[in-house]
Structure 1
Amino acid sequence: LVPFLTFLSFPLGEQLDVTQINFNAAFLAETLCFIMKLLPFIRKERKIRKCIHYFGDHSFTPSSKEQKIIIDDCLRVCRRNSMVLILSVTLTAVCWIIRPLFMPDYALPLEVWLPFDIKADIKIYYFVYIYLAIGILCVAYAGSTPDPLIGGLACHGASQFMILQHTLQNLSHLAEKETSGAHINNINYINLSCSSFVNEYEECFSFPIFTQFVASAFLICFTSLQLGRSNNLTKAIYMSQWYEYDVKSRKALIILMESSQKPVIVTAGKILDVSLETFGIVLKRSYSLLALLRNYQ
C-alpha cells in the first residue's frame, strides 16, 4: 500500500518539490528492485533450497585442517558482510525515517497521497507516520536480505573450488599410490558437483544480480549526467537578450561563456566518465565478452 500511495503522489500530490520527488523516486526504485529479487524465491523455491543445502552432503566435509580453515574463513566473511549490510541498511532507514522530525510542519518520511488531511488530528498524523516508517523498514529489509544469501552462496562455492585446488596440490601427501586413482575419481565427482551447483546458482539468481547491476549502474550514470547541463549555459546566454546589456555586462557574459565551454564530467577513479555513454559501452563490452566466452565453451 505504501508504494502505491507514493506513486499516487506524482499525479495527485500538491506542491511537490524536487527533493520530495527524488525521495519518492528512490523509494519506488528500491521497491521495484526488491520485487525483482524476490521473484526467484517464489518461482524457484525448490532450486533455491537445493542451493542452500547443496554443500551439506558428506562428500563436501573438509578432510584436513587446512580445508577446515578455508571453510571457517568463508563463514567469517559471510557473517561480516551480512552484519555490515544489515547495520548499514538499518542506519540508512532510521535516518530516513527520523528526518521529518527535524522539519517544520507535519512532515512525513514519504510524500504520499492521502484521501484525508493529516493535520486535522495529531493522532492521525502519528498513525500515518508510524505506518510509513514500518513500510520503509519492510522495503529496506526485503530489498537487502537476499543479498547476503546470494553473496554467501557464491562464497561457499568459491571455497569448495579452493578446497579442490588445495587437494590437487597436495594429492601426493593425502593419498597413497594405491588409492590415488580412487581419490582422483572422488575429486572429479566433487568438481562436477561444484559445476552443477554453479549452474543451479546462475539459474536461480542470474536475473536478480542483473537487475541490481543494471539499476545501480544506470542510476549512477543518469544522476551524474545531470551535471552535464552546465554545457547549456553558453546556449542560454546566446538565446538571452544580451545585446541590450551594457559593455561591462557583455564582457562578463563572454567570460562566463568561455569558462562554461569546458564540459563538467564526473569520472570514476579518474579513469572512466560517469555518463550514459559509459553505461552503454559497459553493456556492449560485457555482452561481447559473454558472447566470446560462450563460443569457446
Structure 2
Amino acid sequence: MVVKRIQAFDLRDIFKTERTLLSLSGFYPQRHQINVPFYFTSALINVVVSYLQLFSMFGQMVVDRKDLSKLTDTLLFFMTHFTFLGKLTNFGYYRQNLLAIEDDLCAGILYSFSEKQLGILISKIGSCNTIAKIFRMSCVLCIIFYSVLPLLGDEKNLPLPGWLPYDTDTFYLETIIFQILSVCVSAYNNSSIDILTWKLIAVASGEMEILKENLRDLEYKSNGDKELEVTKETFGICIQHHNAVIDLVHKIEFVFSKGIFMQFLSSVIIICFTGFQLLVVPMASIQFVFLIMYFFCMMCQVAMYCWYGHEVMTTSDELGKFCYMSNWYDSDINIRKSITIFLEKTKKPVVLTAGKFVTLSLATLTGILRSSYSYFAVLQHLYQQDS
C-alpha cells in the first residue's frame, strides 16, 4: 500500500522570501486590508521610477537611431526594462489568483507527506533554492557593476543610456542615484517574480514525483472485501492527487503564462544584442566583465523556466510507466477498469506554456538560442558593413 501521509509541510513556506519581497514592493496580494497606504505608496514609487527610466531610454534610442553600436547598447537595456514592466503588469493584473494557488497548496491532498515523500520534495526545492541564490547573487553583482562603471572613467558617464531633458553634468549625482534606483527596482522585482514562478513549478514537479512513487508502491493484491475497499480508496486518492496537480499547473500557467511569453520573446533579442556588445567591447575592460555577468543573468532567467517546465512534462509523462511497475495484474476487475481510464489520461503529458503558444521545455530553450544566434550573425554582418 501507499505509505500513509504523516507529516504536514506548509508548501507556502517554500516561496516565503519572494512573498515577503513582493509584499514590501506593494505587488503581492494581501488577504487582509492592513497597511494599504504603505503597499500602495511602495508600488506607486516602483512603477513611476521604472516608467521614467523606460521613457528615458526610448528617447536615447531615437537620438542614436543612426549609430548601430550605440543603438544596440541602448536597445539591450530597453528590452530588459520593457520586459520587466510587462511581467510586472501581468503579475499585478493576475495577482489575486496567487491566493487561490496558496489555498490549493494548503489542501490535504498536496499538503501532507510521509518522510520519504517529504525527502523527495525537499530535494527538489533545495536545488531550486540553490539556483535562486546564485541568480540573486548575479543580479546583485550586476547592480554593483552598474554603480561602479560610471566612476571608473574621467568623463561623467551614467550607469544607463538615456535621454534626459536637462544638463546631466549639473545634476550628475542625482541622475546617477535615480538610475541606480531604477536598476535596483527592476532587479529586485524581476528576480522575485522569476524565482516565485520557478519555485511554484518546482512544487508541481515534486508533487508529480511523489505521485509516481505512490503509483509504483501501491499494493493491489487483496485477501478480502475490506482490503479491496482500501485498495480502491488508495487508488482513488492517487487519481485525486493527479487532478490536484494538474489544476495547480493550470493555475500557475494562468497567472504567469503571458509574462513568460514576453520573457521568451525578448530573450531572443537580449541574448543577441548582449553577444553583439561582447563582440564590440574590448575584452580587457570592466564593461566586458559586466556584459558576461549580464549575459549569465539573462540566460539563467530563460533557462530555468524551460528546465522546470520540462521537468513537469517529463515526470507527468512517466506516470503510466510507474503505474505498470506495480502489481496491477493482481487487482480486481473494477480497479483494472479505473487503471485503464487513468492510463489513457496520463498519455497526454502535463505541459506549461508561455502565452499558450510555446511549451516550457529544453527544446524551446535551444530554439531561443538558435534564433538569437541567427539574429546575431545578421547584426554582425551589418556592423562589419558599416565599419
Post-superposition offset of 1:139:
1.7
1:87 matched to 2:137: yes
Alpha-carbon deviations, 1:176-211, whole Å to 9, x = none?
A: 544111111111111111111122122222212222
Residues 221/4 of structure 1: CA separation in 2 closer, same or farther (3 Å cut): closer
Partner amino acid, structure 2, of 1:166? E
Task: Give the corresponding residue for 1:162.
Answer: 209
Give matches, 1:214-229, under 5 Å.
214-221=265-272
Unaligned runs of 5+ in 1: 228-267, 279-297
1:126 matched to 2:173: yes
Task: Give the corresponding residue for 1:141.
Answer: 188
Task: Give the corresponding residue for 2:233.
Answer: 182
1:6 matched to 2:6: no
Unaligned runs of 5+ in 2: 1-51, 279-365, 378-387
Post-superposition offset of 1:17:
6.6
1:35 matched to 2:85: yes
Residues 23/142 of structure 1: CA separation in 2 closer, same or farther (3 Å cut): farther
Post-superposition offset of 1:276:
4.5
Partner amino acid, structure 2, of 1:211? M
Partner amino acid, structure 1, of 2:191? S
Residues 75/225 of structure 1: CA separation in 2 closer, same or farther (3 Å cut): closer
Partner amino acid, structure 2, of 1:275? S
Mapped contact 1:2–1:132 kept (Cα < 8 A): yes
What secondary structure does 2:155 align onto?
Answer: coil
TM-score computed with the length of structure 2 as normaliser: 0.53
Partner amino acid, structure 2, of 1:57? A
Mapped contact 1:6–1:113 kept (Cα < 8 A): yes
Partner amino acid, structure 2, of 1:137? C
Partner amino acid, structure 2, of 1:186? I
Q: 2: distance between equivalents of 1:22 and 1:191?
A: 47
Aligned length: 231
Task: Give the corresponding residue for 2:246.
Answer: 195
Q: 2: distance between equivalents of 1:87 and 1:56?
A: 31
Mapped contact 1:150–1:205 kept (Cα < 8 A): yes
**What is the CA RMSD across the aligned residues, in angstroms?**
3.2
Alpha-carbon deviations, 1:224-283, whole Å to 9, x = none?
A: 6999xxxxxxxxxxxxxxxxxxxxxxxxxxxxxxxxxxxxxxxx8xx96831499xxxxx
- Which piece of structure 1 moves more, 24-33 or 49-58? 49-58
TM-score computed with the length of structure 1 as normaliser: 0.68
Residues 63/151 of structure 1: CA separation in 2 closer, same or farther (3 Å cut): closer
Q: 1: distance between equivalents of 2:111 and 2:163?
A: 56
1:100 matched to 2:147: no
> Which structure would you say has the larger Rg?
1
Post-superposition offset of 1:221:
4.9
Q: 1: distance between equivalents of 2:266 and 2:165?
A: 32
Mapped contact 2:143–2:183 kept (Cα < 8 A): yes
Q: 2: distance between equivalents of 1:178 and 1:38?
A: 50
Task: Give the corresponding residue for 1:66.
Answer: 116
1:212 matched to 2:263: yes
Q: 1: distance between equivalents of 2:184 and 2:276?
A: 30
Mapped contact 1:41–1:48 kept (Cα < 8 A): no
Task: Give the corresponding residue for 1:54.
Answer: 104
Post-superposition offset of 1:39:
2.5
Task: Give the corresponding residue for 2:384.
Answer: none
Mapped contact 1:222–1:275 kept (Cα < 8 A): no
Residues 85/178 of structure 1: CA separation in 2 closer, same or farther (3 Å cut): same
Q: 2: distance between equivalents of 1:194 and 1:70?
A: 16
Mapped contact 1:20–1:110 kept (Cα < 8 A): no
Partner amino acid, structure 2, of 1:131? F
Partner amino acid, structure 2, of 1:190? H
Alpha-carbon deviations, 1:59-96, whole Å to 9, x = none?
A: 22343221010121122123212211111111112112
Post-superposition offset of 1:171:
1.2
What secondary structure does 1:204 align onto?
Answer: helix
Q: 2: distance between equivalents of 1:222 and 1:136?
A: 19
Mapped contact 1:81–1:148 kept (Cα < 8 A): no
Q: 1: distance between equivalents of 2:273 and 2:151?
A: 31
Residues 18/97 of structure 1: CA separation in 2 closer, same or farther (3 Å cut): farther
Partner amino acid, structure 2, of 1:216? S
Mapped contact 1:23–1:110 kept (Cα < 8 A): no
